[in-house]
A = this chain, B = another copy of it.
C-alpha cells in the first residue's frame, strides 16, 4: 500500500493512499468535523508533496467530506442537521432498493456469506471489540449493496456511509454511538433467505430510523490537540 522511502526512512503514499487514509479517519471518528486541514502539515505527515495533498483535498471536497473556502483552505465538513436528515432519508430509500434488487436474484451462497459476516460481527461484539464490530457492521451494509449488483446504488450507499460519521459527530455526542444492532442484521438476513422483501425492508427501515431519531443539537465541545491523524481513535480539533 505504501512504499518505504529509504533515504529519509519516512513512509511515502500515493494519491489514492492519502485519500483513503483520510476517508478511513473520518469513518473511524478520528477526524472531527471542523478540523482544519493544512496542506503543508498533511504533506509532511504523509511524506508527499503539497500538490498531491491539494488534489486529494479537492476530491474530498467533491464528495462533501471537506469544505473548501477560497484562500482559507479546507476543513473537515460539518453537515447541517438538514443535510443529515436528507442523508438518512435517502439511505432508507437506497437500502430499500438494494434489498429489493438483491432478493430478486439472491442465491443460497449469498445467504451463507451474509451468515458468516453476522458471526464475525457477533464474535467481535461479544469479545468487547466494539471498534471492530462497528467496522464489520458497516461492511455488512456494504456487502448487501455489492451483492445487489447495481453499481450506482452501491456507489450512492458508499457515499452516504462515508458522510454519515460527520453527521453523527456534528449533531450527536461521540458517546451515544450508532452501532448497528446485530440482531436486526440477523432479522434482515432471515428475511432475505425467505425472499421476504416486505419484512426485509421493514426491518431495515426500523434499523435505520433508530439511528436517525437521535439527531439533535449537541453542545459544543472544547477543541482537542493536533496531528495524531494516524493514531487510531483520537479525535482531531475543530478549527
Contact = CB atoms under 8 A, between A and B. Distances in A.
A152 B160 CA distance: 9
Given A59-B58, A93-B94, A97-B93, A86 B160 contact: no
The main secondary structure of chain A at its interface with chain B is helix
A169 to B, nearest CB: 18
Copies of this chain, tallied across the complex: 2
A93 B58 contact: no
A82 interface: yes
A55 B86 CA distance: 29
Contacts of A150: 86, 89-90
Contacts of A160: 152
By size class, the interface of chain A is 20 to 34
Nearest to A163: B152
A85 to B, nearest CB: 8
Contacts of A90: 97, 150, 152-153, 156
A55 B93 CA distance: 33
Given A59-B62, A90-B97, A83 B151 contact: yes
Given A59-B62, A152-B160, 8 more contacts: A58-B59, A83-B152, A87-B152, A89-B101, A90-B97, A90-B150, A90-B152, A90-B156
